[in-house]
Amino acid sequence: MINKIILRLENIYDIRLEDIFENGQCFRWKTLENNGKRNVSYIGIYNERIYVIKETENTYLKEGKKDKSINLDVCIYLKENEKINEENERKILSHYLDLERDYSKIKDNIIENTKNTIGAIEVKQAIEYGEGIRILKQDIIETTISFIISANNNIPRIKKSVELLSKRYGEKIEIDDEMFGIDLREFKENMYTFPKINKLICLTEEDFKNAGTGFRAKRLVCTIEKLNNGFLEDLECLLDEELFEKLVLLDGVGPKVANCIMLFAYNRLESFPIDVWVKRVMTEVFFKGIEEEKITNDKIMNIVKNIKNKGIMQQYLFYWRRERG
């Protein structure tokens, strides 16, 4: 018998599934449906659970205007013998989607803090474009491994490598043929949890290369050995600078990957990962007319140093620029 629970989250503001799952912060979600304007339902894996989430807009009027809140219908598939507790599952999902945080206030603050800059118009445009972005609170080990794989890589290849590792060394979770009127049959054979550390520690460089990780395989083996030996213990209590200095000690973790881990796993919202897309958009928005090659990371950080929740600002700008091509 398939072990599952169905629940609904109602009247959520500042959320769009497409903005969350397509902005490069995660690699385990796949599109199920598009309503003609955007993707509105997804299937994905988190915390040893399979989620099918469908987004619907509220259509009633509030204070004379169309309400902008979203309802989420959610089916959660668990491992066969795991007990179901609805209250606990709601807490897990709310934590993952960062639903307790007021993103409307954050957006207003970012706009206010950049209103007198040369990039004020573009920042507002980016926020409006990605208005439904939320920073996921992801598993630390999975996020670390995934972003080491992401180095000099593209999202389709990253997703494929993570999926191969999961299918070969994770645990399968059974799902239905259909949910919320959506055909799930094509996904049934690929719903595997991310491997636990006791599985990962047994893998060789060749195993990782066979999963498409390429030159990153050696780095993964070295890092997993450190993780297995307790490297992550007590890191959550460190200050941002201390956490950064610890993370860059891991093989395959440079400044950009360390900031990604801090932002997407440790929820350190002042982390500001800088990759090709971020450097490009920051140059175009805040250094108009200056060649990108002349813009250093230090100059970029000097622009955002006094902006609170700059990691969320980074996501708005990154998503907006990347989607424009």
Q: What is the pLDDT of residues 171-216, one digit of tens each?
A: 999 999 999 999 999 999 999 999 999 999 999 999 999 999 999 9
Residue 100 has pLDDT above 80, yes or no: yes
Output phi, psi for 73, to 5 deg: -90, 130
The structure tokens listed for 186 are 């094509």
Residue 70 has pLDDT above 80, yes or no: yes
Task: Please give the Cα distance from 143 to 257 (Å, whole number).
Answer: 10
Q: Which residue in this structure is represented by tokens 């066979």? A: 210
Contacts of 157 (CB under 8 A, 6+ apart): 212
Instruction: Quote the percentage of the chain above a pLDDT of 70.
Output: 98
What is the pLDDT at residue 178? Answer: 97
Question: pTM for the full model?
Answer: 0.95
CB 5 within 8 A of CB 76: yes
What is the pLDDT at residue 58? Answer: 86
Closest to 199 in 3D by CA, of 165, 223, 161, 159: 165
What is the pLDDT at residue 64? Answer: 65
What is the pLDDT at residue 65? Answer: 67
Please state, rounded to an integer, the average pLDDT across all residues of the chain: 95
What is the pLDDT at residue 59? Answer: 74
What is the pLDDT at residue 61? Answer: 65
Residue 248 has pLDDT above 90, yes or no: yes
Residue 243 has pLDDT above 70, yes or no: yes
Residue 18 has pLDDT above 80, yes or no: yes
Work out the number of other CB atoms within 10 angstroms of the CB of residue 202. Answer: 12
